[in-house]
Amino acid sequence: MKEREITALETALRYHFHRRGVIEQAITHSSQAREQESQQTGENKYRVSDNEQLEFLGDAILALVTSEELFQRFPQFREGELSKLRAHLVSERHLIRVAQQLELGHYLRLGRGEEKSGGRGKTALLVDALEAILAAIYLDGGMPPVREFILREILAPELERMEREGGALPMNDFKSALQETLQGLGMAQPSYVLVEEAGPEHRKTFTVEVRLHTTKGDSGAEFVGRAQGSTKKTAEQDAARQLLSYLASRPQSVGGKLARGSRAAEQP
């Protein structure tokens, strides 16, 4: 690999390698390695390293860092919720977007056959290379730089995107958290009321109220939260968040679980 290509890759990764061999191995596909081996003659034959073992290590590092981040960021989630979110964040479907944004296909070292078959654009090869690069960063600089890379390039952008687009991200599901909280307290479920819909069709604003009833069947409301959003769903979620905060601030003791759940649900 030419020096300028290594420098360009380091710029894309925002990491400088002290051991150039490890990053070269990370982008070397087995087709290239076997091709080089087949060209060797005499008694000086040696095995050319490819990125398969690095991919194995990188996959484990990604799973660990992702699990640690989700564990710390969402302490109120059940094991199933954490597993579901982690599965998405480490999935091939998500990782291919990261690999494409980093333009890893440009840097792959491929054998002639793989090159001709369009290997630089193959999802499996790009994702494998990304995971191998994670291992390369870890082996070269330890856990801090690879954790920083994973958070910056893989986790944070996707979590922010899911939140922004109102995806099924558990950290946004204040309505479910509110439902479980009220059930645990033996209280009636709240009612969500659309009180206003304004603006042109392509830029509507929805105003929703969530009303907390002290007892089942009681027409009165102890608390009313009001929120606006570009969709009814986002307005309802924000109103539910307000109600969770209200319950956590009530002077009577409703248990540490409620207070912790409300604070955790509001983490960015």
List the catalytic residues.
59, 131
What distance in Å separates the CA atoms of residue 206 and residue 196, rounded to the nearest whole number? 6
Residues 262, 247 contacting (CB under 8 angstroms): yes
Across the chain, which distance is largest between two alpha carbons, in Å? 91
Alpha carbon distance, N-terminus to C-terminus of the chain: 41
What distance in Å separates the CA atoms of residue 50 and residue 47, rounded to the nearest whole number? 9
Q: Which residues contact 195 (CB under 8 A, 6 or more apart)?
A: 207, 208, 209, 226
Residue in this structure with the two tokens 């801090």, named with its chain if needed? 144
User: What Å distances lie between residue 28 and 53, 59, 130, 224, CA to CA?
Assistant: 11, 17, 12, 60
